[in-house]
């Protein structure tokens, strides 16, 4: 698959974090295949991957919002990113959701991350839009979420231009496969940074830690 072909480093040097792939239900039959290929390629590079297509049983038991937050908790512990696939349906859903949310008082939205009542659609993607808005309102846009678009499945008509939905402002957007290296670099750097901070925190603040004494000795 093209993600593997773009990587020049050993696979074990790339991954290590968690990646959650999100997309809205779409009539385009090519999308599930592209997502499964992307997920499998990321796994081959050392990432762990969550994709609702692979978790239908768990989703039916937990429901969309609890399932989403269980994955976000894992991402927080392990480091990584939520990757939203930008399609025409994604674009439309985000614009509609943004217009709907503008009718709500901003103060009632803050702290309501994951509240499915703010979403017009009860599905994983719809629930994730609340999380994106919560991050944006807290000045953390782009910390957990990023965007990708498949060049074989463009979100806009050829030659057409439309600004990204306001809800997605601050999120990095990568076009695959041409920007695969940048996409993988952001995933790997973010995961490595989180793991490094956890390592430093655990070692330095743990009594009798060798790292703590080595640091103090200097």
Q: Token pair of 137, please?
A: 């309102």
Bigger pLDDT: 42 vs 5: 42
pLDDT digits (tens, 9 = 90+) for 118-154: 434 468 999 999 999 999 889 898 899 999 999 998 8
Alpha helices in the chain (DSSP H): 2-6, 30-44, 56-62, 64-78, 88-101, 106-109, 124-137, 180-205, 210-217
3-state secondary structure of 147: strand
- Mean residue pLDDT across the chain: 77
Q: Strands 80-85 and 48-51, how do they pair?
A: unpaired
Q: Strands 145-150 and 173-176, how do they pair?
A: parallel
Quick one: DSSP state of residue 163? P
Going by pLDDT thresholds of 50, 70 and 90, the confidence category of residue 205 is very low
Bigger pLDDT: 212 vs 86: 86
Distance of CA 154 to the CA centre of its chain: 19
Bigger pLDDT: 63 vs 100: 63
Cβ-based neighbours of 189, under 8 Å, separated by 6 or more: none
Look at residue 58 and tell me whether its pLDDT is greater than 70: yes
As assigned by CATH, the class of the 17-217 domain is alpha beta
Question: What is the torsion angle, in degrees rounded to the nearest 10, for the CA atoms of residue 186, residue 187, residue 193 and residue 194?
Answer: 140
Look at residue 190 and tell me whether its pLDDT is greater than 80: no
Range in 81-90, 106-115, 153-162 with the lowest mean pLDDT: 106-115
Q: Token pair of 114, please?
A: 């994951």
Q: What is the pLDDT of residue 15?
A: 58
Q: What is the pLDDT of residue 158?
A: 57
Q: What is the pLDDT of residue 162?
A: 77
Q: Where are the domains of the chain?
A: 17-217
pLDDT digits (tens, 9 = 90+) for 38-52: 999 999 998 999 999
């Amino acid at each position: 698959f093209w993600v593997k072909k773009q990587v020049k480093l050993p696979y074990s040097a790339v991954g290590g974090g968690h990646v959650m792939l999100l997309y809205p239900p779409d009539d385009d039959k090519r999308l599930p295949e592209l997502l499964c290929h992307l997920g499998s390629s990321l796994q081959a590079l050392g990432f762990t991957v969550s994709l609702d297509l692979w978790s239908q049983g768990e989703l039916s038991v937990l429901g969309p919002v609890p399932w989403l937050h269980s994955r976000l908790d894992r991402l927080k512990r392990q480091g990584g990113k939520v990757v939203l696939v930008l399609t025409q349906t994604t674009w439309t859903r985000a614009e509609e959701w943004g217009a709907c949310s503008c009718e709500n008082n901003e103060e009632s939205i803050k702290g309501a991350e994951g509240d499915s009542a703010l979403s017009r659609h009860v599905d994983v993607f719809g629930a994730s839009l609340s999380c994106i808005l919560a991050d944006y309102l807290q000045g953390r846009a782009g910390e957990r979420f990023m965007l990708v678009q498949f060049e074989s499945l463009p979100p806009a008509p050829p030659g057409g231009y439309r600004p990204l939905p306001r809800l997605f402002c601050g999120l990095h957007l990568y076009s695959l496969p041409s920007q695969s290296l940048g996409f993988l670099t952001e995933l790997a750097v973010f995961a490595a940074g989180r793991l490094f901070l956890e390592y430093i925190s655990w070692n330095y603040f743990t009594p009798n830690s060798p790292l703590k004494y080595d640091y103090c000795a200097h």
